[in-house]
A and B are shown apart, each in its own frame.
Chain A
Amino acid sequence: MSPEEELQSNVSVASSTRNIVGVLKEHNYLGLSDCSSVGSSNLSGLADDDKATISLKATELTLGLPGSQSPARDTELNSLGPAKLDEKLFFPLLPSKDEICPSSQKNIASGNKRGFADTMDKVPVYTEKNWMFPEAVVATQSVIKKEVAQNIPKGKLSTTNNSSSPPAAKAQIVGWPPVRSYRKNTLATTCKNSDEVDGKPGSGPLFVKVSMDGAPYLRKVDLRSYTNYGELSAALEKMFTTFTLGQCGTSGATGKDVRNETKLKDLLNGKDYVLTYEDKDGDWMLVGDFSWEIFIGVCKKLKIMKGCDAIGLAAAPAPRAMEKSKMRA
């Protein structure tokens, strides 16, 4: 390709990217850059001759090949000047500081960030299959990407402890977290031999998180390692002993271990604490209404709640729930 043709194709690509960029402006949560350009026309608040702005020239597609001269080069640009890049390719020293994005762009970024409304409720199911139509790929792609980003906005994600509101449908991202599919499949598959020996139904470990009001951190239990509510209850007691003993202490009990153990049992099995779980629909229910097999099929999370907090919870028609407010042995 001759230099002139190259320039022509460069400019035409650049101008078409600018068109797309205009469409996407609203969705750009940083306002700094967008898909096909280095933040040129998106920086709508800046004057054209502001040197800090990366000009359109920087968005032209040129190759940093040795010897090639882009006619549109502007060495005063504080950005990706192609000429500078050519030299750099020949003399790969430390990247020169002037080429690095100046701080003014950071201000722009934060300014735009503040302007964005929270759209935290919308979490799209983010898979590659969503990108249906080639023409719409550009818009959809960046929208989806930015929506995911907005859903987990910097610093705004609600990470409150023991949040009782059901989490929004989680964004299913292909290949994330980066765990080998072999590993994922293996941990989930049936272990045929050990099932026959142990008599346990179903597949591999089923970990659910257990939180307790007032406890500093969560634990995890493998529901498949128990065969009934009693075993689960005993295991949880063991796990959370330290916390409840602490509670006993503050409410005036003495320090003797035996007394505290009894107190613990009362706390878990009796009035003060109840065990609740979050089911597949995101509802919080009292543990104990269903048979064990059904329970492990629907339980997503466990929480040991204070009895008074659990009054509003019901698994089923209220009378049954009231009767079953204690954990079953």
Chain B
Amino acid sequence: MDLRLPSKVLEHILSFVDSNEDRNSVSLVCKSWFETERRTRKRVIVRNCYAVTPEAVARRFPEMRSLTLKGKPHFADYNLVPDGWGGYAWPWIEAMAEKCPSLEELRLKRMVVTDECLEKIAASFKDFKVLVLTSCEGFSTDGLAAIAVACSNLRELELRECIVEDLGGDWLSYFPETLTSLVSLDFSCLDSEVKLSDLERLVSRSPNLKSLKLNRAVSLDALGSLLRLAPQLVELGTGSFSDKLDQEAVSKLSQAFSEMKELKSLSGLWDVLPEYIPLLYSVCPGLTSLNLSYATVQMPDLLELLTRCSNLQKLWVMDLIEDKGLEVVASSCKELRELRVFPSGAEGLNDTNVAMTEQGLVSVSEGCPNLESVLYFCVQFTNAAMVTIARNRPNLKCFRLCVMEPFAPDHKTQKPLDEGFKAIVERCKDLQRLSVSGLLTDKAFEYIGTHGKKLRMLSIAFAGDSDLMLHHLLSGCESLNKLEIRDCPFGDTALVANAAKLETMRSLWMSSCCVSFGACKLLSQKMPKLNVEVIDEHPLETRPDSSPVERIYIYRTLAGPRLDMPEFVWTIQKNPEIGVSHLAIK
């Protein structure tokens, strides 16, 4: 008796399975399940573009409609990856254009996207709907024009913190009058002014527009007219909030804001003047997300705003909020889930008395029962504060603390911050992401290795005493997926001894540590399923094996060594004498 499910039935069942994690499990059951699953997967996510070839992905998932790709390692955000390292979108776009012309959605993060890429997308995918580029670079506004003019069913065009060569605001005018399908438009990272009349017309013929994020060049006056055309917006990123308006314009703008009954997310607010903050009061109670991280508004002007945001779930601010402001958040924003506090300026090494301290975060941890994700930049911290935070919030999933002074101890006891982080990993059993900072000895990492069983991503800088630190982490953290380390004093032994662990992880980044060239070579030889990349701007051919390398990036891959490596990236497959050049890389 054939007990197998007919594939049509299985297909139908799988149409309800959305999560790729579940689909990956389904595909491991047996060959026929693998086949059915792969033929029905529509949304494909590749979190390391070099882990697999575009052709292999296209072959496996012929019905792909949505592709998400990530390129450079996370530390590229902080200029630790030299330009030209890689992460090119072109091979993927070219392969998909040929093999999956029904592709509708492309989401790229930390990749190099050129105008040719954008033109190819515009020309190849007839039903293209969604383009989301996050932290990408390499293209100009001409490429955007190509997308605008050709993609007649475009729904989403979002540029999030991209570095774009801005040749002017004309690109917006290329959206044809026939385009009425726009749901989301984000051009907040562009500099040039777009033609207001074109923008207004675009907005008024887009009844489905839910998300609009303007750039800084859009004036406050223009905002008023746009809001009147799109009161249905759910997400709004304003432009500059600092023009001097006359009384009539102000009251019109206030009226426009009060008409926006659906607004849930507010961002932008560049240069916001304190006298305009009351304009926002009417939308505050409905907000679930507020991004003030570019709004240079100080206390006490912030207070009135925050007390009204009783439904806020996500708050991004600068440290101008001070401890006082965070206390107000703790008492007013009881639904808060995510808090990010960014530094407002270059912090000096000698500040003990700043108005934002560890106390701010402690207050929020006490007052906000749903707080699960924290990113906190602070000049200094204490163990006691972390112990309190951990006790208050064992439900933390993401805890990223950046004590801005390297090697800063607990500023009250002068001890390392080991005990504080111990409390965090011990209490917060579901912690998945952790960034540590301040003065830390090997003990801290012993604790993390012992308790951080669900930790998937860990970021470390200027910490630890020895190789034991790395050993604790690689041998203890069972769920570890991404590990990134800079400026820590260890190297070969722990790395080499835990080599097999590296195949269970997505990637490992180590820069300015003491990993020797010889260890890299050894790892490369022994671990063929890993790409061991040595990224070093000084020539390697004359290096003795014992000399440390500047950076290593190790990731598991099915694709083998990549073919687009620049001169300053060495792998075992490259001949070191030929592959590395003397020229300094700009």
Chain A interface residues (CB < 8 Å from chain B): 1, 9, 13, 16-17, 19-20, 30, 32-39, 58-59, 61-66, 79-80, 82, 85, 88-89, 92, 94-95, 99-101, 109, 128, 131, 133-135, 137-138, 141-142, 145, 148-149, 152, 154-155, 157-161, 163, 167, 170, 173-183, 186-187, 189, 191-194, 197-198, 204-205, 207, 209, 211, 215-220, 222
Contact segment of B28-36, B92-100, B510-518 = B510-518
Interface residues of B in 170-202 (CB under 8 A from A): 189, 191, 193
Q: Given contacts A36-B514, A89-B500, are A194 and B409 in contact (CB under 8 A)?
A: no
**Is there an interface contact between A80 and B355, defined as CB atoms closer than 8 Å?**
no
**Is there an interface contact between A64 and B498, defined as CB atoms closer than 8 Å?**
yes
Give the 6 A-B residue pairs with the shortest CB-CB distance, closest first: A175-B78, A33-B466, A35-B514, A155-B414, A207-B345, A16-B546
**Is there an interface contact between B240 and A193, defined as CB atoms closer than 8 Å?**
yes
**Is there an interface contact between B163 and A109, defined as CB atoms closer than 8 Å?**
no
**Is there an interface contact between A191 and B240, defined as CB atoms closer than 8 Å?**
yes
Is residue B131 within 8 Å, beta carbon to beta carbon, of the partner chain?
A: no
**Is there an interface contact between B243 and A194, defined as CB atoms closer than 8 Å?**
yes
Most chain A CB atoms below 10 A, which of B355, B414, B490, B514: B514
Chain A residues whose CB sits within 8 angstroms of the CB of B123 once the complex forms: none
**Is there an interface contact between B442 and A101, defined as CB atoms closer than 8 Å?**
yes
Chain B residues whose CB sits within 8 angstroms of the CB of A17 once the complex forms: 492, 516, 546
Chain B, interface SS category = loop
Q: Given contacts A64-B497, A175-B78, are A36 and B545 in contact (CB under 8 A)?
A: no
**Is there an interface contact between A38 and B466, defined as CB atoms closer than 8 Å?**
yes
Q: Given contacts A152-B405, A191-B271, A204-B296, are A197 and B522 in contact (CB under 8 A)?
A: no
Chain B residues whose CB sits within 8 angstroms of the CB of A183 once the complex forms: 161, 293, 342
**Across the A-B interface, how many residue pairs have beta carbons closer than 8 Å?**
268
**Is there an interface contact between A1 and B525, defined as CB atoms closer than 8 Å?**
yes
Chain B interface residues (CB < 8 Å from chain A): 75, 77-80, 135, 161-163, 189, 191, 193, 216-217, 219, 240, 242-244, 270-271, 293-294, 296, 298, 320, 342-345, 347-355, 377, 402, 404-409, 411, 414, 416, 439, 442, 446, 449-450, 459, 461, 465-468, 471-472, 475-476, 478, 486-487, 489-494, 496-501, 512, 514, 516, 518-519, 522-523, 525-526, 537-540, 542-548, 550
A112 to B429, CA, bound (A): 37
**Is there an interface contact between B548 and A141, defined as CB atoms closer than 8 Å?**
yes
**Is there an interface contact between B377 and A177, defined as CB atoms closer than 8 Å?**
yes
**Is there an interface contact between B539 and A134, defined as CB atoms closer than 8 Å?**
yes
Chain A, interface SS category = loop
A194 to B347, CA, bound (A): 27
**Is there an interface contact between B548 and A35, defined as CB atoms closer than 8 Å?**
yes
Chain B residues whose CB sits within 8 angstroms of the CB of A138 once the complex forms: 546-548
**Is there an interface contact between B353 and A177, defined as CB atoms closer than 8 Å?**
no
- The minimal Cβ–Cβ distance linking B456 to chain A, given in whole angstroms, is 15
New contact pairs (18) apart from A154-B407, A183-B342, CB-CB < 8 Å: A17-B492, A35-B489, A38-B467, A61-B518, A79-B468, A100-B472, A134-B547, A155-B414, A163-B350, A176-B78, A177-B377, A177-B402, A177-B404, A183-B293, A194-B242, A205-B271, A207-B345, A218-B353
